[in-house]
Amino acid sequence: MMKPHRMTLRVAVCLAVTVCASSVLAAPMLWNKHPDGPRWYEYIHLDGDQNWYTCREYAIEQLGHDLATITSSQENAFVTALLNMQPEPVTAWLGGFQEPADSAPAENWHWITGEPWVYTNWWPGEPNDAEAGNEDGLSIWGGQGSDRAGYWNDAKRDGYNPRNYGFVIEYIPEPASLALLLTGSLGILSRRRQPRSFE
């Protein structure tokens, strides 16, 4: 695990590079309405079949942050808008999990951050442990053409999904890294395209 001060600088650099170099569909999006301060969110699709654990490992080890948590309808709408920029239906892992995994489908869900599990947006009939065994990871649907955009599903965290699975990462910059990001990358962005910020 990286030390906090190294993580802060690494996140700022990662965000600056990603924001400036990514395509419109892949660039992180800023949400200013989070109760704990500005957040950046990004949908990432990795090549090959990925499960909840491999996606979380990539988010932490390669990008310095973690899977997104969604604790309000406003945040869910923002993440859904991000996913709906994808040209086809997608499913994305979030930072929700069930522990113990053999609990009843709707019981004992948690966020990786320890935030209270108070808001949910399950698709009707979910969670249901439909696959053989226990579905103990949280995913969200989205993308153009998806009739379930914004709704949640339970899936096996250790299951490798051949469908179009990715994950949503939530960047939580500290004040110093946020200032670095804003001064170092938004100036460049303003010359290339209008920044995308959603309420």
Same domain, 86 and 125: yes
Rounded CA-CA distance 87/100 in Å is 36
Same domain, 126 and 197: no
Strands 165-171 and 66-67: antiparallel
Same domain, 55 and 14: no
Structural domain range at position 14 = 1-18+177-199
Of residues 47 and 120, which shows the higher confidence score? Answer: 120
Which tokens sit at 40? 């950046």
pTM greater than 0.75 (yes/no): yes
Q: Is the peptide bond before 127 cis (omega within 30 degrees of 0)?
A: yes
When divided into structural domains, the chain yields a total of: 2
- Scan for tokens 């969200």, then name that residue: 140
179 pLDDT higher than 80:
no
What rounded mean pLDDT belongs to the chain? Answer: 80
What pLDDT does residue 10 have? 46
9 pLDDT higher than 50:
no
Q: Which residues contact 108 (CB under 8 A, 6 or more apart)?
A: 98, 99, 100
pLDDT tens track for 11-37: 444 444 343 333 334 579 999 888 889
Same domain, 50 and 8: no
What pLDDT does residue 184 have? 52
pLDDT tens track for 123-145: 999 999 987 678 999 999 999 99
Residue by residue, DSSP assigns 70-119 as: --SHHHHHHHHHHHTTSSS-EEEEEEEEESSTTS-TTSSEEETT------
